[in-house]
Amino acid sequence: MAYNSLEECLIDLENTGQLIRIKEEVDPYLEMAAIHLRIHEAGGKTILFEKVKGSKYKSVSNIYGTLERSEYIFRKTLDHVRNLIALKNDPVAAIKKPFKHLATLAAGFKALPLKNAINKPVLFEEINISDLPQIVHWPMDGGAYVTLPQVYTEDIDKPGIMNGNMGMYRIQLSGNDYVMNKEIGLHYQLHRGIGVHQTKANKKGQPLKVSIFIGGPPAHAVAAVMPLPEGLGEATFAGALGGRRFRYTYKDGFCISTDADFVITGTVEPLQNKPEGPFGDHLGYYSLKHEFPLMKVHKVYAKKNAIWPFTVVGRPPQEDTSFGQLIHSITGSALQNEIPGLREVNAVDAAGVHPLLLAIGSERYTPYTPATQPAEILTIANHILGTGQLSLAKFLFITADADNKIDTHHIKEYFIYLLERINLQRDIHFYTNTTIDTLDYSGTSINSGSKVVFAANGVVKRNLGNTIPAFLNDYNGTLIMDGIIAIQLKPFTNYAAAKEELNILNENLKQKTNELNAFPILVLCDDAKFAAEKLNNFLWLAFTRCNPSHDIYGVNSFTENKHWGCTSVIFDARIKPHNAPPLILDKNVEKRVDEILKNVKM
């Protein structure tokens, strides 16, 4: 089914029992986000808020809350889109089997953007930023944010929608030093297309024109987060996924999505920034206040009966998890086609996506003799860390599995397989003083930190332990899983003290090297019981709170010819003073949510 609007989609979801209405007036300050979090956690339905305090517009969230619902929304187009991406990766297939791909190629016509005459529905009324729902998600947030924007820019040297970029970048509507109705904040991170466009505009000393679309057919928001093959634009993809051409026009020199519910237009002047943030983000911590581009508002438009969509991010899994699952479902083997020898890769959602990648590759370099140590998979690891947003990864675990015994989405089994085979004295490889995710505050400063690759290949080298050795009782030793133990130390104060603590710990543990061989990873925690309570807790704290170059230690560690190794790895996953604070719900708001949801069937 091709939806002409967001409203059509919501009517369909309600008719099929997949939408609930909150009829009571709700406060956009913390309350709406808390309701969303509660319903999403319960695996609940799309939520339509009929009365938003301070705004005349209805609001909706949790549209993409489950993979099943996303697949329902795009049920008529998913197969065609998968085939279009496959053809993009292998165009020869269409030549070899033209009749097989006729339906897909016909569907591709809907991918071509359609320019409309001006004065289409989105221009129904001109409003102000202050008229929009001012949704504040977490208690320490710096203001109200747009969390499902489609931020559109064009290449100043090659204007036009076919060369445009549409991404989902954070937009701060209020707070900090922004002048209400005149200024908003535009936050984008490394490896984003908008950065290329702004760089070109800056060099010419010209403002970058920005259009922010909110709402419209659901395919438009998905297109804004898709990692698309080179040459396939977001507006094109939106048409293919939505089964309806992306409709647009221009007004005052700005591109306008004529199907959007709201459009904000404005300019980013060269080198004009203002503090943006804090914002409770998808790693489960606050993204702190930093200088980011200032957008000067030109005009704000709303269509008749416009509906404001939003989502809430926080410690995963959240609604953006379903986005990731849908992307994986659509793109299939696209990444494997780009990186020779790569079988699969999983950006682990529970660890905040970029902090942790698990990969499986091939070992084909020496077919005349079995590979007994990592070779090709190290080449693949370098390729992964040089590819798009994967380059923001901090921990990369990679192994070869010729017998297809494991996959990267069965995380516990993957770790067991790798840890049974890794040579810790040979196969840990660091990248120091490099870039990491903007939202990761484990590093030395914003965007700066380190990376590490753990590579494993060959025969089983150890049997992993599943019983805590008695000598770890003094450290509240708690089993996380076979081969991994959480141990508890006093809180982290500074790196000089940590070094002394780890020297003492190493002296105690290296006397037990033989017993520790069954436990390749030890995790230092503030709360060992919490770390071991469930796998997601371990994944979250171990990989979001560690900067590899600073927070990895080792039992019997050594450095030889600039290579580091050990007999058991120690991750210091205690909270550091420079880490961003974790997200905590407001207790009073939670009580109010209890009342609102008392009679709501989720």
pLDDT tens track for 444-453: 888 899 999 9
Last residue of a domain, one of 456, 479, 506: 456
Residues 452 and 505 placed together within one structural domain of the fold = no
Contact criterion met (CB below 8 Å) for 283 and 155: no
* Residue 285, domain CATH: 2.30.110.10
> Tens digits of per-residue pLDDT, 280-313?
999 999 999 999 999 999 999 999 999 999 999 9
Residue 324 belongs to some domain of the structure: no
Residues 358 and 307 placed together within one structural domain of the fold = no
Please report which confidence band the pLDDT of residue 273 belongs to, taking 50, 70 and 90 as the band edges: very high
Which pLDDT score is estimated for 110? 74
Nearest CA to 275 among 444, 436, 143, 152? 143
Residues 86 and 143 placed together within one structural domain of the fold = yes
Q: Say what percent of the chain tops pLDDT 70.
A: 93
Residue 394 belongs to some domain of the structure: yes
* Residue 521, domain CATH: 3.40.1670
CA–CA distances in Å: residue 200 to residues 151, 193, 196, 253, 270: 17, 11, 6, 18, 10
Residue 473 has pLDDT above 50, yes or no: yes
Residues 304 and 401 placed together within one structural domain of the fold = no
Residues 250 and 350 placed together within one structural domain of the fold = no
Domain that holds residue 357: 333-456
Residue 154 belongs to some domain of the structure: yes
Contact criterion met (CB below 8 Å) for 548 and 395: yes
pTM: 0.91
* Residue 448, domain CATH: 3.40.1670.10
Residue 92 has pLDDT above 50, yes or no: no
| Residue 494 φ/ψ, nearest 5 degrees | -160, 170
Residues 132 and 231 placed together within one structural domain of the fold = yes
Residue type, 554: G
Q: Across 157-171, 217-231, 530-544, which has the greatest mean pLDDT?
A: 530-544
CA distance linking residue 323 with residue 38, whole number of Å = 19
Which pLDDT score is estimated for 333? 64
Residues 295 and 352 placed together within one structural domain of the fold = no
Query: Half-sphere exposure (CA, 13 Å, Cβ side) for 316?
Result: 24
Helices (H), 17-98: 31-41, 67-73, 78-89, 92-96
Determine the average pLDDT of the residues in 526-531: 96
CA–CA distances in Å: residue 30 to residues 422, 459, 583: 46, 53, 12
Residue 197 has pLDDT above 90, yes or no: no
Please report which confidence band the pLDDT of residue 464 belongs to, taking 50, 70 and 90 as the band edges: very high
Whole-number average pLDDT of the chain: 91
Kindly provide the residue ranges of all beta strands, DSSP E only, lying in 4-121, ordered along the sequence.
Answer: 19-22, 46-49, 58-61, 114-115
Domain count, the chain: 3
